[in-house]
Structure 1
Amino acid sequence: MWPARITDGRLELRPLRRRDAQEWLELRRQNAGWLAPWEATVPASEGTAPMTFGQWVRESNRTARAGQSRPWVVTRDGVMVGQVTVSGITRGSLSSAAIGYWVSRHVAGRGITPRAVALAIDDCFGTLGLHRVEINIRPENAASLRVVAKLGLRDEGVRKAYLHIQGQWADHRTFAITAEELSGTMVQRLEANLARGTQAPSR
């Protein structure tokens, strides 16, 4: 089931490749300040050595082939603009996964992120046959709260000190949806919500 691509008009979710190094690293450099407040970090106590880009791509694709993740780069008109990653894929009685994402500041607010996440959720429920998908967001991240509002995900509350962010353990709000809650596809739900107009959930 990997490598896999999802194409939706001008938008595409595709596997990250080692030859993407220059484009990816430059995009990340341009967005360093934009993304830093929300990005997970590894506590110094773990002493984990950072991976090179090539090592990271190989490891990402290894876990994807093992059915544990779906690490996609997001492109618009063939140009890289961000990432959507399905991680923690668990089968059996849990049958769930989590989704994380980021988008370049220069395309933020154009509807790319909600659409890309909707496509990833549809892949989780359709291709993978999972039961539940969740997204964890820092309460201060207004842009990401707007994404889950447009998707109509259920707010499950706050997880205290859930992820290590920039040197400290940070609270996150969990938003989720199960396959049984979805009538049609997530892309269809997104389009319907946008047609009606949505507001970010209250904090």
Structure 2
Amino acid sequence: MSRHWPVRLTGETPTGVGLVLRPLRRRDKGELLELRRQDADWLRPWDPTTPPGGGPRQDAVSDFRAYRRGLEAAARSGSTLPLLITSEGRIIGQISANTIVHGAFRSCSIGYWVASRMAGRWVAPTAVAMLGDHLLDPDGRALHRIQLDVRPENEASLRVVRKLGMRDEGRRAAYLHIDGDWREHLSFALVAEDLGPGGLQMRVSRAYQQSRARHTGGSAGP
């Protein structure tokens, strides 16, 4: 599946924020590290960590060069699709399709983070929708299923899966090592057959219209 790399996806949130999802570049180091530093407290409760005995974890902070090369290699192998979330040329987050499996399963798990300054502007659901539409489209990677795993305490990400209309597939005890310990997660998923015209991005647009209608007391339309 390396012929699908590199990938560049463009879209716009319902609030008018233009988004570009693109690969990490060498010259992104300073901007990405500064954003991670500024938002360290914001991100820490949801960041993956390495369990005892799991070996060293490569990340942008500890070794940017190895981190970028690792992402590039995984992308070319087809096991991961890692992208920056940018707006107006600035980095505002990251999103990736992880553990991509083909064959009879044709599934992946999506993870993301978004800068605190962009909270509430529908960046996360739109970015997930953009990546999901690409992955489930026959012209993309032609996967059949995408999954998001969310800690029960993560209200912001629970709102994301609701905006996307994802199916609740239950609780996973001690599922992922997050913020220094094994944490329970809720799993949500969609399969290609769930999508109607317009795909996930249309779902996000409808969710936004409904949200606006609830706040204004008007009608969201058909």
The alignment's TM-score, normalised by the length of structure 1, stands at 0.94
Looking at structure 1, the residues matched to 57 and 9 of structure 2 have their Cα atoms a distance apart, in angstroms, of 33
Give the structure 2 partner of residue 129 of structure 1: 142
Question: What's the CA shift string for 1:127-177, capped at 9, x where partnerless?
Answer: 111000000000000000011111110111110000011221100000100
- Tell me the secondary structure at the aligned position of residue 53 of structure 2: helix
Q: 1:33 pairs with 41, 55, 58, which one? A: 41
Greater Rg over alpha carbons, structure: 2
Looking at structure 2, the residues matched to 174 and 197 of structure 1 have their Cα atoms a distance apart, in angstroms, of 24
Looking at structure 1, the residues matched to 82 and 95 of structure 2 have their Cα atoms a distance apart, in angstroms, of 7
User: Structure 1 residues 146 and 182, CA, compared in 2 at 3 Å: closer, same or farther?
Assistant: same
Q: Determine whether 1:77 maps to 2:91.
A: no
Q: What is the root-mean-square deviation of aligned Cα atoms in Å?
A: 1.5
- Tell me the secondary structure at the aligned position of residue 98 of structure 1: strand
Give the structure 2 partner of residue 46 of structure 1: 54
Percent identical among aligned pairs is 45
Give the structure 2 partner of residue 172 of structure 1: 185
Give the structure 2 partner of residue 55 of structure 1: 66
Give the structure 2 partner of residue 190 of structure 1: 204
- Tell me the secondary structure at the aligned position of residue 56 of structure 2: coil
- Tell me the secondary structure at the aligned position of residue 93 of structure 1: coil
Runs of 4+ in 1 over 3 A off after TM superposition: none
Q: 2:121 pairs with 90, 96, 110, which one? A: 110
Give the structure 1 partner of residue 157 of structure 2: 144
CA contact (8 A) 2:58 2:66 kept: no
Give the structure 1 partner of residue 11 of structure 2: 8
The alignment's TM-score, normalised by the length of structure 2, stands at 0.86
Looking at structure 1, the residues matched to 58 and 195 of structure 2 have their Cα atoms a distance apart, in angstroms, of 39
Structure 1: give runs of 5+ residues left out of the alignment.
none
Aligned residues: 199
Q: 2:28 pairs with 20, 37, 55, which one? A: 20
